[in-house]
Amino acid sequence: MIDDVRGRSVAVLGLLAVWWFVGGTVAAGLPTPPAVAVAFGDALTDPSFAESAATSAARVYVSFAVAAALAIPIGLFAGWHGPFADLTMPAVELLRPVPPIAWVPAVILLLPGTEPGIVFITFLGAFFPILLNALEGARGVDREYAKAARSLGADAPATVYHVALPGAMPSIATGLYVGMGLAWINLVAAEMLAGGTGLGYVTWSAYTGGSYPYIVVGMLSIGILGVLSSAAVRQLDRWLVPWSHGVGT
């Protein structure tokens, strides 16, 4: 453990050194570490910055929750019941290759106001990975378990709930983790584009406004929030799938 701390410190110091060097020589516009540190201090005490962070976080979590609530059942059914997959997945596969961010203009035209648009884009980002992973997960469940359940008296919905869902859980957990990451990526892009509020917008306007150190502050804040979200999903994974975290697995 001590070694890890040492390794990390060396790595971070090395990064700061390289950053400082690049800023001092090749790239004159790059804000220096001390300037960023000062800006960070300012931001931490600035209530509007906290508000932006809260706005971004709220958008991500709400979109993520809705995406999961929709994608998991649909994916589960599609993976469990072939014809249902044939009926739904082709349409999904047509829409999937379009990056959510490319939807922004269309969505702004279609939905009233920018907020629903941003939330929808973030939702889209999380939706597809969760859906696909739920589908794969359900597909991979050994059908022998279903037969066992039926022979014990379970009807179709009970089988889905007690066999398909737990069986697909590990895969769903992975999907949630990936989905959270993509939700953040798309949120930031949408905020930069459609703007108004949020960390993405703050980062972009720091650029257009010329206060360059705040760009880095914005980036770091996004990164930190992203890490916290992923860690939260990891915890959720541990809670949802206790049986695959045991000894010897």
Partner 1 sequence: MSVRERRGVLVDTITDAGTALESVPRPLLRLTSVLGLFVVWWAFVRVGVLGFGFFVSPVEALSAVGSHLFGEPVADGETIHLHAGYTAGRVFAGTALAVAVAVPLGLAIGVSELLERYLYPVVELLRPIPPIAWVPLALVTFPTTRAGVLFVVFLGAFFPTLVNAARGVAAVDVEYRRAAASLGASDGQILRHVLLPSALPAILTGVSIGIGIGWITVVAAEMITGRFGLGHVIFQAYRLVDVESVVVGMIAVGVLGWLSTAAVARIGSFATPWLDGGELR
Instruction: Report residue 17 as tokens.
Output: 């050194």
Residue 102 near residue 190, CB atoms below 8 Å: no
**Judged by CB, which is closer to partner 1: 22, or 242?**
22
Please tell me the count of residues contacting partner 1 according to CB under 8 A: 69
Among 47, 83, 246, 248, binds partner 1 (CB under 8 A): 83
State yes or no: residue 200 binds partner 1 (CB under 8 A): yes
State yes or no: residue 88 binds partner 1 (CB under 8 A): yes
State yes or no: residue 127 binds partner 1 (CB under 8 A): no
**Judged by CB, which is closer to partner 1: 27, or 62?**
27
**Judged by CB, which is closer to partner 1: 37, or 156?**
156
**Rounded CA separation 125/11 (Å):** 32
Among 35, 61, 230, 234, binds partner 1 (CB under 8 A): 230
**Judged by CB, which is closer to partner 1: 137, or 201?**
201
Among 95, 148, 152, 232, binds partner 1 (CB under 8 A): 95
Among 70, 220, 240, 241, binds partner 1 (CB under 8 A): 220
Q: Contacts with partner 1 in 143-162 (CB under 8 A)? A: 155-157
Among 47, 97, 153, 246, binds partner 1 (CB under 8 A): 97
**Rounded CA separation 52/57 (Å):** 9
Give the list of residues 6+ apart from residue 19 with CB closer than 8 angstroms, or none. 30, 32, 33
Span interacting with partner 1, options 43-51, 135-143, 202-210, 232-240, rule CB under 8 A: 202-210
Which of 71, 66, 59, 117 lies closest to 96 in space, CA to CA? 71
We find the least distance from the C-beta atom of residue 240 to partner 1, in angstroms, to be 22
State yes or no: residue 17 binds partner 1 (CB under 8 A): no
Among 63, 133, 186, 197, binds partner 1 (CB under 8 A): 186
Interface residues toward partner 1, by CB under 8 A: 3-4, 6-8, 10-12, 14-15, 22, 27, 29-31, 81-84, 86-91, 94-95, 97-106, 108-112, 155-157, 184-186, 188-189, 192-193, 200, 203-204, 206-207, 212, 215-216, 218-220, 222-224, 226-227, 230
